[in-house]
Amino acid sequence: MTRRGVLTGLLVGGLVAGGSLAAMPASAEPAPVPLSPSLVSRLLSATSGRMPVLVHGATLADAERAVTATGMQRVTTFREIGVVVARGTRQQVQAARTQPGVTYLEGDQPVAMHAAPAAVVTRSTSLVATRGLEARQTLVGANGAALDGSGVSIAVIDSGVDPTHPAFAGGKVVRSLKSVCLDESSTDTSCIMDVPRGLDSDTVSLGGHGSHVSSIAAGRNVTLSDGSTVSGAAPGADIVSLSTGTAVVIVSADAALEWVLEHHAAPCGEAVPVAQCPPIRVVNNSYGPQGGGRFDPSSATVKLQRQLVKEGVVMVWAAGNDGGDGSKSLTNPPAQDPTGGVISVASYNDQGSGTRSGPVSTFSSRGVQTDPSTWPDISAPGQNIVGACRAYLLICSTGLKPQNGPGILDVGSYNTLSGTSMAAPQISGIVALLFQADPAATPAGIEQALKSTALRYSNGAPYQRVGGYLTSFDKGTGLVDAVAAAEELGAHHTH
C-alpha cells in the first residue's frame, strides 16, 4: 500500500480519499480530525479485526486518553512527539477522530529495502569516487586523529546486523536492538528490546540487508581472500543497530527513531564511557514505500526526525529505486523533508573504476521536474557496492560476485549489491567523518557542507539554481566530495 494508493470518490465517515475533510453538517460534535492516506485505504478495505493506528495528540496525555476512551489496545508510546500506537477496530478508529486533543490519525504501511540487482565488478571503488579514502589518508579531525569517523556512532535502522562478521570484529557494534512492536506473541511492552551482545540480529526473512548497509557505513578495513581491501566509509565509527524485526513497517521503524531520540546522547547508557560508546550523530534509513509518495509533515516519522535534527542528529535517507523521468515524484516521502540536516541520497554509478564522471543510476528515484522539494539532495555510489553478506541469506544470494573473507570459514562473506540502500550509508559514513572534523557542527551545517562542495557531474538532468544551490531532479547537487566537505568544516592535512 502506498500513501497515494487510495480510491478516489469513496467516503469514510466524512473523509474523502486523499486525506482531506468532506463538508460536514453543522453539529455540536467536534469536527473529525484528518486521517493519513494509508489509514483511509485501510478503513475502506477493513471488514473486521483490529488495525494498527498512530494516535497523534496535542499532548501525550490527550493521545493516551483517546486510546482509553475508545477501547483501543495500546501497543507502545512515542513519548517525545505525543503519539500512542494502538490497535483498533474500524469503529474505534472512527470514534477516535472526535476525541478531545486528538490532532491526526495515521495508519501503518509496509516499506521496502532499497536494494536492486547488481552487475559483476572486480573490486570496491566507491571510496575512490567519494574521495573518502583520500580524506582518511590525508586529513585529520578536531581530535588530531586521522579522519575515520572515530568518536561518532551511526544508528542503522534496518533488518539488523551480524556482529560476528569480519566487517564488525572488535566490538564495532556497540549496541544491538530489535523492534517487537507489532509482534502479538510478545508480552514485552517496551517495544524495543536489547539483543544480547554478540548475537546476530539480522533477520533471515529480510536477507542480510542490514549487515550489508552497516558495513558500507562503518565496516572495518578487511583484506579479502583475493588480496583486495574492503572498508566502510567511516571505519573508525561505531554502530548502533536497530532491527525492525521480521518485516519493515512504519510503526517498527518509527519505534526505532523514537528510541534514538531518547538515547542518542548515551546509546549504551549513562554509565558507559563516551570513548567506549560515542553519541549517535547520524541515522541511516535505507527503506521506504515502493513508488515514493507524498511528503506528510504530520506523520510520526517527520515529527521524530525533526526533533532529532533539533538535538543535533543528521537523518540520511535512501531516495528510492523507482527510477522515473521527472514527470512525477518517485522519491522517498520522509526524505523530501526540507529541514536542514535531513538528506536524501541518489545513486551514482562509478562504473567499477572510481571515476567521478560516471552516470546517475537508472534505478535511482527521481523527483518531479517542477517541484524541487521532491528532488534528492546529493548523490553517492550505490551501484555494484561490495559489503558484508552471508551466503545463506536471501539478499546475498542475489549478489553476482560472492567473495571470501579473511578466515577459512568466511566463504561468500562479502557480495556486490546495488541500490540507493547502498548509496545512503556512503553519506552516513561521510557525515561521521564531518562530525569528527567539527564536533560542534549542526545538522544543517553538515548538509550545507556536503551540498556546497559536491561535484556537479554532467550526466543526467541539467542543474538549476534552487535555494542557493545548483541542483537537479535526478541527482541533487551532484556527487559527494568527502575531502572538500571536510575541509569546509575545518579538517586539515596531515602534512
Structure-block grid coordinates of residue 306: 525533526
Q: Which residues contact 271 (CB under 8 A, 6 or more apart)?
A: none
Question: What is the structure's pLDDT at 4?
Answer: 31
DSSP conformational letter for 26: -
Residue 62 burial (CB count, 10 A): 18
Task: Label residue 398 by pLDDT band (50, 70, 90).
Answer: low
With beta carbons less than 8 A apart as the criterion, state whether 172 and 154 touch.
no
Per-residue model confidence as pLDDT tens digits over 420-439:
999 999 999 999 999 999 99
Question: What is the structure's pLDDT at 197?
Answer: 85
Angle in degrees, 0-180, between the axes of helices 209-218 and 420-437, rounded to the nearest 10: 30
Q: Which residues contact 396 (CB under 8 A, 6 or more apart)?
A: 207, 208, 212, 389, 390, 402, 412, 415
Residue from 380, 378, 381, 382 nearest 469 by CA: 378
pLDDT of residue 17 exceeding 70, the answer is no
Structure-block grid coordinates of residue 481: 566530495
With beta carbons less than 8 A apart as the criterion, state whether 201 and 242 touch.
no
With beta carbons less than 8 A apart as the criterion, state whether 316 and 469 touch.
no
**Tell me, which fold does domain 11-107 have in CATH?**
Alpha-Beta Plaits (3.30.70)
Q: 3-state DSSP: the chain helix, strand, coil percent, rounded to 5? A: 25, 20, 50
User: Is the C-alpha dihedral spanning 430, 436, 438, 440 positive or negative?
Assistant: positive
Per-residue model confidence as pLDDT tens digits over 240-277:
999 986 656 788 899 999 999 999 999 999 999 999 99
Structure-block grid coordinates of residue 159: 533488518
Encoded amino acid at 470, one letter: L
Residue from 214, 216, 209 nearest 231 by CA: 216
Per-residue model confidence as pLDDT tens digits over 431-463:
999 999 999 999 999 999 999 999 999 999 999
User: Is the C-alpha dihedral spanning 180, 5, 158, 149 positive or negative?
Assistant: negative
Q: Which residues contact 131 (CB under 8 A, 6 or more apart)?
A: 481, 482, 483, 484
With beta carbons less than 8 A apart as the criterion, state whether 341 and 446 touch.
yes
Question: What is the structure's pLDDT at 93?
Answer: 93
Cα(first)–Cα(last) distance of the chain, in Å?
55
Give domain limits for the chain. Answer: 11-107, 112-493
The model's pTM: 0.88
Structure-block grid coordinates of residue 96: 477516535
User: How confident is the model over 109-138, as a mean pLDDT?
Assistant: 72
Task: Label residue 182 by pLDDT band (50, 70, 90).
Answer: low
Distances (CA, A) of 170 to 145, 243, 388: 19, 20, 15
User: How confident is the model over 110-117, as a mean pLDDT?
Assistant: 58
pLDDT of residue 115 exceeding 80, the answer is no
Distances (CA, A) of 316 to 290, 336, 376, 424: 18, 11, 11, 6
Task: Label residue 96 by pLDDT band (50, 70, 90).
Answer: very high
Q: What is the distance between the alpha carbons of residues 410 and 224, in angstroms, rounded to a whole number? A: 9
User: Which residue shows C-alpha cell 552516470?
Assistant: 359
**Tell me, which fold does domain 112-493 have in CATH?**
Rossmann fold (3.40.50)
